[in-house]
Structure 1
Amino acid sequence: MQPRNMSMSGAVDLSAVKAAAEAKQKAERARSQRAAQPGGQQAAAATRLVIDVDEAGFEQEVLQRSAEVPVVIDFWAEWCEPCKQLSPILERLAEAYAGRFVLAKIDVDQNQMLFQQFGVQGIPAVFAVIAGQALPLFQGAAPEPQVRQVLDQLIQAAEERFGIVGAPVDPEQAAAAGEEAAGPPQPPANPTLAAAHAALDGGDLAGAIQAYENVLADEPGNLEASIGLGQARLLKRVQEADPAKVRKAAADKPTDVAAQLAAADLDLVGGHVEDAFGRLVSLVQRTAGEDRDAARVRLLELFEVVGPDDPRVISSRAALSRALF
């Protein structure tokens, strides 16, 4: 999915920290103190760039730290397949940006209060906190180039608005830390799968679809390829759609299968997962024959995009079974 909801104006003020002006002054004092210490900026190399945060440590690890460096929050869960795609990208970029931001990982199953406080609608969801202000960045898995673009905007805004530039880590030490975190060498990735990902990231949807299909021809159970194929097909379907026309057609023709399928695609791309699933389950209930089968197949395809372990998929599968039987 493409990043959504990037907005530097929709900040939610978190009252646990002081105003932005004071945060800026605090950041300037902290940078001066670090520069005066033996080793200067190299002392920042000890900063943890990826941290696990819970409710008890949120104020210190996120709110207080956000006065000195942008903190990017990754809301995730163990059962969330899209999270397993996005989290490694964010962790890799935290190392690559070498201290320009800190990544805070929050397990939503263990931290429901934070999940509710931020108004998270679905996961993965990515927020940032700068000088105590929470900013929604995007929801859903996204390719690395688009995540980089969002991070670059975030870092620029942090510097221009609050004077917060982070604490760049010594490149050699950051590289060593990255190698240590990576662990032992991994076996080479499937080159066809890698080519499929590259095509998807580059916007070559037809090429991505073909490459994912090639992977699945050899490995029918490859979950990563199945999810990628579903994403590529979905993006290709909505690529040239006029959202206003699609919405109007769906509203005017509630029994038109093609119109409802197109609207469900837009629902999902827009992050309205429950709406997309509910629309198609309802379509299955009120159709028969080929129309019902078309709605059922599209719903199963969207299940693959979101991930089989997502609770919204699980509940919608049950609703689909009730509609069919």
Structure 2
Amino acid sequence: MQPRNSRLNSSALRGAVDLAAVKAAGEAAQKAEQARAERARQAAAGIAPDPSAYPLVIDVTEDTFETEVVQRSTEVPVVIDFWAEWCEPCKQLSPLLERLAEEYAGRIVLAKIDVEANQLLTQQFGIQGVPAVMAVVAGQLVPLFQGAESEANVRKVLDQLILVAEQRFGVVGGAGAPAEAPGEAGPYLPEDPALAAAHEALDRGDLGGAIQAYQNVLVEEPGNTEAKLGLAQAQLLRRVEGLDLASVRTAAAADPKDVEAQLKAADLDLVGGHVEDAFGRLVATVGRTFGEDRDTVRVRLLELFEVIGAEDPRVTAARGALARVLF
């Protein structure tokens, strides 16, 4: 799992989640570092954390989302469980997530959102079915999975999330757990100034500048994985600018052989967190097309693999499906 998805801005509740309007990641990382430093100071002084100040499972509403999820995500990865009372799989998954949140002892916080009571949030996140599980780390949205999963798979996803949060964003967590020493986690921004400039352009919504900056890095370092991932995300965000979700879905459903319609729908699927749907749509389109059209769809699918990350099991599964269609 690679954290190459949308960032949440501070006005997320006042309109649709805008993937190009980026909340400054440097500010989020700084807050996380300050929080870790304060916990380390308290630990050094022998001050035990107050468990009641760090609830590990919280019910979140549209009114509390900014504080309980976005702001809290600067200190600890926040896993979001979108659920509904009528959802039978939710009755299995939600208790599992709650138990694991307690077991992980502050390395994650679980935010529960009732989709029926919070329909604005449901629309903003593009939730089309429950259960749906996402995470927010340092203000950045990371889709995790949709539907019920086994405990082993959920543990694997959470372990990956924690690793990414520490290595990529410097968000360690530890609410109510032993404090980390300041500076132990890796910094958010890379030391390479060219790559830092590319990230900063992406963070402020300058997609054209970000694309050019990432391409400049790749000219000098063709194998730079970070630049490849950043470029893939910037290009995706640029492609979905101005697209109307309803119109795109209608066009794609009306003509499964319309390559351009399927490409647009797959982009929006991925941005909305429906990773398997995006991959499945393009694999199916590859199977229906020939010549240049087939190659165009295949290349786009490979680009979306870059956005998610080569090690993600959904990418592995889609690569296998693509191979079966091609060969």
Normalising by the residue count of structure 1, what TM-score does the alignment of the two structures yield? 0.54
CA contact (8 A) 1:3 1:140 kept: no
**Unaligned runs of at least 5 residues, structure 1:** 8-38, 49-64, 74-88, 95-101, 106-112, 120-125, 148-167
Offset at 1:256? 0.4
Query: Match of 2:215?
Result: 213
User: Any idea what SS the aligned residue of 2:223 has?
Assistant: coil
Cα deviation code 1:208-231 (max 9, x no counterpart): 100111111111111111111100
**Unaligned runs of at least 5 residues, structure 2:** 14-40, 59-69, 80-91, 99-106, 115-120, 126-132, 142-174
Picking from 168, 174, 177, the partner of 2:181 is: 177
CA contact (8 A) 1:230 1:302 kept: yes
Query: Match of 1:276?
Result: 278
Query: Match of 1:117?
Result: 96
Measure, in 1, the Cα distance between the counterparts of 2:281 and 2:74. 37
1:230 pairs with 2:205 = no
User: Any idea what SS the aligned residue of 1:177 has?
Assistant: coil
1:134 pairs with 2:112 = yes
Query: Match of 1:248?
Result: 250
Which residue identity is paired with 2:326?
A: L
Give the 4+ runs in structure 1 shifted more than 3 A.
Answer: 39-48, 70-73, 89-93, 102-105, 113-116, 126-129, 133-147, 185-188
Offset at 1:305? 0.3
Query: Match of 2:204?
Result: 202
CA contact (8 A) 1:145 1:201 kept: no
Measure, in 1, the Cα distance between the counterparts of 2:305 and 2:42. 51
Cα deviation code 1:161-219 (max 9, x no counterpart): xxxxxxx99xxxx9x9314x258x99971111101111111100000100111111111
| CA RMSD, Structure 1 to Structure 2 (Å) | 4.4
Query: Match of 1:2?
Result: 6
Offset at 1:42? 9.2
Which residue identity is paired with 1:299?
A: L
Distance 1:115 1:322, change over 3 A: farther
User: Any idea what SS the aligned residue of 1:178 has?
Assistant: coil
Which residue identity is paired with 2:282?
A: L
1:68 pairs with 2:53 = yes
User: Any idea what SS the aligned residue of 1:241 has?
Assistant: coil
CA contact (8 A) 1:2 1:142 kept: no
Cα deviation code 1:228-286 (max 9, x no counterpart): 11000000000111111111110111110000000000000000000000000000011
Structure 1 vs Structure 2: percent identity of aligned residues? 54
Distance 1:186 1:303, change over 3 A: closer
Offset at 1:295? 0.4
Query: Match of 2:16?
Result: none
Which residue identity is paired with 2:303?
A: E
Offset at 1:2? 1.6
CA contact (8 A) 2:7 2:139 kept: no
Query: Match of 2:266?
Result: 264
CA contact (8 A) 1:193 1:212 kept: yes
Query: Match of 1:85?
Result: none
Cα deviation code 1:139-162 (max 9, x no counterpart): 668784557xxxxxxxxxxxxxxx
CA contact (8 A) 1:2 1:143 kept: no
Which residue identity is paired with 1:69?
A: Y
Offset at 1:128? 3.7
CA contact (8 A) 1:267 1:273 kept: yes
Measure, in 2, the Cα distance between the counterparts of 1:142 and 1:103. 6
User: Any idea what SS the aligned residue of 1:226 has?
Assistant: helix
CA contact (8 A) 2:266 2:278 kept: yes
Offset at 1:322? 1.1
Measure, in 2, the Cα distance between the counterparts of 1:260 and 1:128. 36
Distance 1:142 1:289, change over 3 A: farther
Offset at 1:135? 4.6
Find the structure with the greater CA-based Rg: 1
Offset at 1:115? 8.7
Query: Match of 1:293?
Result: 295
Which residue identity is paired with 1:314?
A: T
Distance 1:103 1:302, change over 3 A: closer
Query: Match of 2:315?
Result: 313
CA contact (8 A) 1:128 1:134 kept: no
Measure, in 2, the Cα distance between the counterparts of 1:217 and 1:141. 33
User: Any idea what SS the aligned residue of 1:254 has?
Assistant: coil
